[in-house]
């Protein structure tokens, strides 16, 4: 039996009507268990409720129905200790240096300055930013700025890392290489990773399991196990099974993306 790290039972989210419109049934019902230490990805059409689901797991929003548990405790309206989030369109603070941006992640931690400095160095090292500690975000590439955002989360030593389309704005090659960094980070920290992406190739390369969500209200319509070894990297995209996985994801997703009428998910 896998060790259940996060469990969702009967999760639904409905947003109340606003401005004379109708209420929006964004999500659910969803039942899902994330296993401790697994890399889990979720793909789905735009507007199907992926970010909403992440907010429920993070404790940033409350479900209209159902229960979310992290490490056996119910999550409700508050970010749990040891849960790290990198938001969609996350941004660094332009007026802080790279090291100061990363240290911001520890602003609430009651730690001696020397320990904070050591953890900043470690997080910069894991994300390959050690030579840029004194640089400012404007002096970095888009991919490097994303790494700063991830390092800022990493420094809190999360056991669960929630990533909402962290590479959305990057070009294809940079995305694959950033994916390798995230895989390395996942192996080093042994954290459970929950990644939202609209890119099927990214999900297929990174994850142990991939869930496909339906058009709104988002439900899980397929779960694909990749069976990759933990020490994988982007070369895995050359494997025959990679094509099989992305084809299956695309088959599940295509009809849903057309239903959603929005941005179709990127074909691998
Ligand atoms: N705070 C809110 N108030 C009202 N409606 C909301 C709120 N947040 C999200 N929604 C609605 O819930 C639905 C799901 O939104 P969500 O952001 O979770 O989608 P998504 O799958 O992350 O989309 P994308 O791929 O474009 O990021 C949308 O219809 C959205 O308008
Ligand atoms: Mg979103």
- CATH number of the domain to which 256 belongs: 3.40.50.300
Do 111 and 166 sit in the same domain of this protein? no
Is residue 194 within 8 A of residue 238, CB to CB? The reply is no
Give the number of the ligand closest to the Cα of residue 27.
1
- Do 177 and 46 fall within a single domain? yes
Ligand 1 pocket: which of 14, 15, 198, 203 to mutate (most atoms within 8 A of CB): 15
- Residue 68 belongs to some domain of the structure: no
With b for 16 or more beta-carbon neighbours within 10 A and e for fewer, the 147-181 pattern comes to bbbbbbbbbbbbbbbbbbbbbeebeeebbbebbeb
Distance from Cα 120 to the centre of ligand 1, integer Å: 33
Domain endpoint, select from 136, 157, 178: 157
Q: How many domains is the chain partitioned into structurally? A: 2
CA dist 104 and 64 (Å) reads 32
Q: What are phi and psi of 73, to 5 degrees?
A: -110, 140
Q: Do 220 and 151 share a domain, yes or no?
A: no
- Same domain, yes or no: 180 and 258: yes
Give Dmax over CA atoms of the chain in angstroms.
55
Is the domain of 219 the same as that of 233?
yes
Rounded Cα distance between 146 and 268, Å, is 22
Judge if 100 and 142 occupy the same domain.
yes
Nearest atom (ligand 1) to Cα of 52: 18
Which secondary-structure segment (H or E) carries 113?
A: helix 113-126
Q: Tokens 């390395």 belong to which residue?
A: 184
Q: Which atom of ligand 1 is nearest to the CA of 53?
A: 18
CB–CB of 137/98 below 8 Å? yes
Based on the fold, state whether residues 100 and 226 are members of the same structural domain: no
Q: Which of 87, 38, 28, 77 is nearest to 57 (CA)?
A: 77
Residue 192 three-state SS: strand
The residue whose C-alpha atom lies closest to atom 7 belonging to ligand 1 is: 15
Of all protein residues, the one whose alpha carbon is nearest to atom 14 of ligand 1 is 49
Ligand 1 test: best mutation among 12, 18, 19, 24, most atoms within 8 Å of CB? 24
Co-location of 112 and 228 in the same domain = no
Same domain, 201 and 127: no
Residues 131 and 146 in one domain: yes
Atom 3 of ligand 1, nearest CA residue: 15
Check residue 76 and give its pLDDT.
Answer: 78
Q: Is the dihedral of CA 84, 32, 190, 49 positive or negative?
A: negative
Sequential pLDDT tens for the chain (268 residues) = 779 999 999 999 999 888 778 888 989 899 999 999 999 999 998 888 999 999 999 988 899 999 999 999 898 777 777 888 887 776 788 899 999 999 988 887 788 889 889 999 988 988 888 999 999 999 988 888 888 988 888 888 899 999 998 887 777 887 888 888 889 889 988 999 999 998 899 999 999 999 999 988 999 999 999 999 999 988 888 999 999 999 999 998 887 777 766 554 444 4
Domain-ending residue, one of 124, 157, 190: 157
Ligand 1 centroid, distance to 47 Cα (angstroms): 5
Closest-CA residue, ligand 1 atom 29, reads 47
Clarify whether residues 202 and 222 are in a common domain: yes
Do residues 202 and 245 make contact, with C-beta atoms less than 8 angstroms apart? no
Residues with C-beta less than 6 Å from any ligand 1 atom: 15, 24, 26, 44, 46-52, 88, 198, 216
Q: What is the pLDDT of residue 261?
A: 65
**pLDDT at residue 260 in the model:** 64
Domain interval for residue 144: 91-157
Q: pTM of the full predicted structure?
A: 0.89
| Euclidean distance between CA atoms 29 and 175, whole angstroms | 32
Q: Return the residue whose CA atom lies nearest to atom 30 of ligand 1.
A: 47
Task: Tell the residue number behind the tokens 């070009």, with chain if given.
Answer: 171
Residue 8 CA to ligand 1 center (angstroms) comes to 19
Paired strand residues for 160: 83, 192
> Would 137 be classed as within a structural domain?
yes
Q: Judging by beta carbons within 10 Å of its beta carbon (0-12, 13-18, 19+), is residue 57 exposed, middle or buried?
A: buried
């Amino acid at each position: 039996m896998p060790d259940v790290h996060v469990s969702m039972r009967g999760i639904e989210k409905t947003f109340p009507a606003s401005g004379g419109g109708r209420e929006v049934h964004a999500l659910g019902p969803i039942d899902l268990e994330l296993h401790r230490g697994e890399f889990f990805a979720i793909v789905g059409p735009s507007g199907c409720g992926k970010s909403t689901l992440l907010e429920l797991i993070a404790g940033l929003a409350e479900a209209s129905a159902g229960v979310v548990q992290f490490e056996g405790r119910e999550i409700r309206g508050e970010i749990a200790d040891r849960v790290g989030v990198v938001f969609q369109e996350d941004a660094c603070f332009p007026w802080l240096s790279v090291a100061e941006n990363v240290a911001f992640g520890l602003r609430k931690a009651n730690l001696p300055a020397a320990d904070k400095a050591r953890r900043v160095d470690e997080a910069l090292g894991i994300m390959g930013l050690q030579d840029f500690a004194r640089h400012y975000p404007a002096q970095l590439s888009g991919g490097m700025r994303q790494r700063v955002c991830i390092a800022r989360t990493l420094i809190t030593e999360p056991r669960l890392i929630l990533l909402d389309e962290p590479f959305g704005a990057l070009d294809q090659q940079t995305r694959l290489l950033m994916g390798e960094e995230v895989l390395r980070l996942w192996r080093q920290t042994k954290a459970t990773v929950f990644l939202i992406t609209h890119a099927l190739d990214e999900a297929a390369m990174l994850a142990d399991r991939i869930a496909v969500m339906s058009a709104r209200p988002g439900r899980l319509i397929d779960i694909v196990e990749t069976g990759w070894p933990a020490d994988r990297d982007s070369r895995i995209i050359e494997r025959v099974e990679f094509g099989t996985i992305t084809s299956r994801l695309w088959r599940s997703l295509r009809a849903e993306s057309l239903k959603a009428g929005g941005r179709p998910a990127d074909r691998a």
